[in-house]
Structure 1
Amino acid sequence: MTELFSDAVPVNTVSHLIQLSVAPVFLLAGIGSLLGVLVSRLSRIVSKSEELSNILLMEKSQSPVDRRSSEIRQRLDFLERRRRYLNHAILACTMTGLLVALVIMIMFLSAFFAFNGSVLIAVLFILAMASLIVGLLIFLREIYYASHPR
């Protein structure tokens, strides 16, 4: 097994590849932190929605639909919209992480199998940044929506 890789790629080439992959790895760490924030917000929204749904169910069993039930339904609709925004932001940021991981993988594969992957790496990185921008814009929209309830 060791003879397979012994003369394929010099150690200094691998070392250089690791140096080049450090920035994308830090980007992955940042994306992971952002995903943690998004999932935390989503978790709070889901908990609040479940709580309001339980209140609504208890009210239905005790009395006919009244003004309070209508307000709870409006609040549930508001939370549902926020949940959708966060789901889309999570999807976009997860795609960013996947694309950055592919960039790192192709960097190593291009060195090990001696092909020019620079165009593919550039395209994937541009797609990753576009996906991150979309995710951040959707997150910004959710924050604005949450701070300006109607």
Structure 2
Amino acid sequence: MPTLPAVTTIAQTIQLSLAPVFMLAAIGQLLNVLAGRLARVIDRARALEMMIHKIDDGPDRLRHKWELRLLDRRMSIINAALFLAVSSAVMACVVIAGLFIANIFKIHIGTWIASAFILAVCLLILCLTAFMVEVRISLRAIHVRKEILNG
């Protein structure tokens, strides 16, 4: 009959899994922020698409087209950031599951678990970098036009 792991061993595994669990909580919040930003960008793009058909050729039409290109780029970057965040969360889950599997079945996969955690952190870094790039791009569209300020 196989022996079951002691409660203390499970408690130690739970303690080891706290860092990836906190990481999952942070990624969840980040996903919420990214999804909100994506929704706002999509709403703005739809509004501009409706407006652009009502404007004749001129500076306003050019500005709307410029902003639509910017919004399209932002959507792509946010989608990439979402993919990276979800991938990071999946790897954090793999780490947590790996810790318990290694403990319960007494297998030595510490190197694999460490590698999975490093990958999760690297994916999170890439996600945050994409988020930072998207925020910087968004700042281009919110400046007040000089012709309005000077007029």
TM range (shorter): 0.7 to 0.9
Q: Which residue of structure 2 aligns with residue 129 of structure 1? A: 121
1:69 pairs, out of 61, 73, 96, with 61
1:93 pairs, out of 81, 85, 89, with 85
Q: Which residue of structure 2 aligns with residue 27 of structure 1? A: 23
Q: Distance in 2 between matches of 1:74 and 1:95?
A: 32
**Cα drift, residue 68 of structure 1:** 2.7
2:4 pairs, out of 8, 14, 23, with 8
Give CA deviations for 1:83-108 in whole Å, capped at 9, x if unaligned: 11111111111111110010000000
Question: How much identity, in percent, do the aligned residues show?
Answer: 30
Paired amino acid for 1:132? L
Classify the secondary structure of the residue corresponding to 2:17. helix
**Cα drift, residue 125 of structure 1:** 0.7
Is 1:55 aligned with 2:51? yes
Paired amino acid for 1:31? I
Query: When the two structures are superposed, what TM-score results if normalisation uses the length of structure 1?
Result: 0.87
Q: Distance in 1 between matches of 2:139 and 2:93?
A: 34
Query: When the two structures are superposed, what TM-score results if normalisation uses the length of structure 2?
Result: 0.86
Classify the secondary structure of the residue corresponding to 1:148. helix
- For structure 2, the 5+ residue unaligned runs are 144-151
Q: What is the count of residue pairs matched by the alignment?
A: 142
CA RMSD of aligned residues (A): 1.8
